[in-house]
Amino acid sequence: MEKKKILMLVLFLGVILVVAIAISYATENTEDSILDEGNKTTKYNYAGGIEIVPGEYRDVVFNDKTGDYRPDYGISAERYEQFFGELPPFPEDFFHIAELVYSGKVTDYARISEEYYMQPEFYPAWFSIINESYINNDPYMWTPEGYGCYPCIKEVEVPKGTTVVVNTYFRTGFATEAYQGIILKTLMPEYAKDLRGKTIFEQPKDAGKYITAKVTNPDDKTFVEFKDNLLYNNVDEGEWFTILKPTYRLLKDKYGQAIGEKGFPSDWVRILEVEIDIAKDIPAGDYVVALDVEIPCFDINQEYYFSKDHDYYGALYYPAGSFHRSAIPHFQVIMKIK
């Protein structure tokens, strides 16, 4: 009985010790991820995968490895060059501009220059994904598909009888390793949804009689060159066929050995433009235009599989749109018609 009490006491003290160590470890490792108010400096432990949103980071420091103000991720100058070398220099006022977009104080996205929206730090998920997807990327994982719009909802007030042009940023997903062929098309959904998929309002039943919308971005240059020779293609007028470039590549030599990495290309983000025409006789109320994706048809995909430049397409081309589905449309324009 006495031995049992001693054993229980040892186990109890052991649990206390483990908890104490855990608390100490947590305190030590979250010091750099606490957002302090007032005049205190805000720091973040990026390598720990801390999730933050644009605008929270305020500790802007010149980075000697990059020659600009990109955050210090604790990686070598060589890896900085591999991941970010094709992007514009990171501006000193970057987080101020990113916060204006994130908070909705600036919604004319086409006026923001590439030195801001081409940076991965511009997008909320980056700080939670950089550690596992870039700094410690798993070489045995391969991600062929990933894309999205930011912001994915835009609200506008529109007078009757007008045409409105709405922009958003359309980008490849982080650590996506294939060239993705994708068709974007507009639609009039039954409901407007919030970010969690909850219904905001029901679309008026006859909305399609008064509203027409189209994507006005030019199609992929290679597709334009061969589309007239196809017996069939499923890119209709007002739709957009584009190729999204990979945002991560593990480079290998002829023996299959890793020799380096490649990160973001200079055009991994595109400014998406949607043009919406509204009739003069439309009833006042709330309406929504959404963006959907479609898989390119066999004939289109075959041309990219046959591409002579196989490093660019060939083995790395992937018809996107079949796997990456979301609970809400990839982009919604919520309009209050007066």
Token pair listed for 222:
């290679």
DSSP-derived letter for residue 122 is G
Give a yes or no: residue 6 inside a domain.
no
Question: Does 85 have pLDDT greater than 90?
Answer: yes
Burial class of residue 70 (count of CB atoms within 10 Å of its CB; 0-12, 13-18, 19+): buried
* Position 210, amino acid: Y
Question: Does 72 have pLDDT greater than 60?
Answer: yes
Give a yes or no: residue 26 inside a domain.
no
Give a yes or no: residue 10 inside a domain.
no
Give a yes or no: residue 314 inside a domain.
yes
45 pLDDT band, cuts 50/70/90, is very low
Return the percent helix, strand and coil in the chain, to nearest 5. Answer: 30, 25, 45
Helices (H), the chain: 2-30, 77-84, 94-102, 114-117, 126-130, 221-226, 298-305
Instruction: Look at residue 228 in the predicted model and tell me its pLDDT.
Output: 95
Instruction: Write down the pTM of the prediction.
Output: 0.81
Question: Does 48 have pLDDT greater than 60?
Answer: no
Q: Higher confidence at residue 275 or residue 51?
A: 275
| 155 and 124 in a common domain | no
Q: Under a CB-based contact definition with an 8 Å cutoff, are residues 80 and 69 in contact?
A: no
Residues 153-162 have a mean pLDDT of 95
Question: Does 15 have pLDDT greater than 90?
Answer: no
Q: What is the mean pLDDT of the chain?
A: 83
| 99 and 79 in a common domain | yes
Question: Does 14 have pLDDT greater than 60?
Answer: no
Question: Does 24 have pLDDT greater than 70?
Answer: no
Task: Using a pLDDT cut of 90, give the percent of the chain over it.
Answer: 62
Residues 63-73 have a mean pLDDT of 95
CATH of the domain at 170: 2.60.40.10
Burial readout 250-274 (b: 16 or more C-beta within 10 A, e: otherwise): beeeeeeeeeebbbbbeebbbebbb
Instruction: Look at residue 296 in the predicted model and tell me its pLDDT.
Output: 95
| 151 and 116 in a common domain | no
142 pLDDT band, cuts 50/70/90, is confident
In terms of Cα–Cα distance, which of 273, 277, 162, 159 is closest to 208? 277
Question: Does 20 have pLDDT greater than 80?
Answer: no
Residues 205-215 have a mean pLDDT of 97
| 77 and 192 in a common domain | no
Instruction: Look at residue 31 in the predicted model and tell me its pLDDT.
Output: 26
HSE-up of residue 37 (Cα within 13 Å, Cβ side): 0
User: Which residues, at least 6 apart from 197, have a Cβ–Cβ distance to it below 8 Å?
Assistant: 327, 328
| 210 and 286 in a common domain | yes
Give a yes or no: residue 47 inside a domain.
yes
Instruction: Look at residue 309 in the predicted model and tell me its pLDDT.
Output: 59
Give a yes or no: residue 205 inside a domain.
yes
**Structural domain that includes position 63:** 41-136
Give a yes or no: residue 51 inside a domain.
yes
322 pLDDT band, cuts 50/70/90, is low
Question: Does 196 have pLDDT greater than 80?
Answer: yes
Q: Higher confidence at residue 111 or residue 28?
A: 111
Number of domains in the chain: 2
- Main-chain dihedrals φ then ψ at residue 254, nearest 5 degrees: -70, -15
- Of 102, 136, 170, the one marking the end of a domain is 136
Instruction: Look at residue 288 in the predicted model and tell me its pLDDT.
Output: 98
| 308 and 183 in a common domain | yes
Token pair listed for 325:
């589905």
Q: Higher confidence at residue 142 or residue 285?
A: 285
Residues 316-334 have a mean pLDDT of 81
Chain mean position to CA 109: 15
Residues 39-67 have a mean pLDDT of 58
- Of 86, 101, 136, the one marking the end of a domain is 136
Q: Which of 167-176, 190-199, 202-211, 310-319 shows the lowest mean pLDDT across its residues?
A: 310-319
Query: What three-state secondary structure class fits 332?
Result: strand
Give a yes or no: residue 86 inside a domain.
yes
| 166 and 315 in a common domain | yes
| 300 and 186 in a common domain | yes
Instruction: Look at residue 190 in the predicted model and tell me its pLDDT.
Output: 96
| 153 and 119 in a common domain | no
Q: Higher confidence at residue 52 or residue 187?
A: 187
| 156 and 55 in a common domain | no
- Of 136, 153, 168, the one marking the end of a domain is 136
| 153 and 295 in a common domain | yes
| 112 and 158 in a common domain | no
